[in-house]
Every structure is written in C-alpha cells, then in structure tokens.
Amino acid sequence: MSMTEQYDPYENAVAERINRTLKYEYGLKQTIKNTEIARDMTHQAVYIYNNLRTHFSLDLRKPAEVHLNPNIKYKSYRKNNLNLQEIKI
C-alpha cells in the first residue's frame, strides 16, 4: 500500500522507505490472520525501529536517542516547502 495520494513513490520517498523497511525487515508484508495480530506486529516493529535499530542517517544512533537529545546533529531528508501558508483557526 502506498501512502502517497498520487501513488508516486517519489512524492514521499522517506515514508515509502520506512514502509518498505517495516514490510521486509519485520514481516509485515505477509498475510496476517487478523487485525489484532497485525496491530501487535506493527506496534512491535515500530518500537524496534525507533528504539533498538540503528540508522545510518543518524550516524548509527537510534531515533529515540536523537529525538530525546536536541544537541545531536543528523542528516535531515525533509524538504523545506516554501509554499507553506499560515492558517489561523
């Protein structure tokens, strides 16, 4: 399943890369018997991805470690969108 509106993997490459990792490294591509098992597997995969798995883009640190320490520098793949407008509600 693609999470982009236009079904273009380049539209949101970072999210597509994470989806691929979850599918192939954590077994989420297989057919899962029911939603409860799927939910448990997804929670476990996301926990491992954020708390136990090191990432090259974070200089082999874990995302949780970087998130909790704002002094750690890392490579950001987020594009700056210059077309953003402030919306007041």
Q: Which two tokens stand for residue 83?
A: 């077309």
Per-residue pLDDT tens for 26-35? Answer: 888 889 999 9
CA dist 38 and 32 (Å) reads 6
pLDDT > 60? residue 82: no
Q: Which residues pair with 58 in a beta bridge?
A: none
pLDDT of residue 61: 93
Per-residue pLDDT tens for 11-70? Answer: 788 788 888 988 998 888 889 999 999 999 999 999 999 999 998 888 899 999 999 998
The torsion angle over the Cα atoms of residues 20, 29, 46 and 62, rounded to 10 degrees, is -40
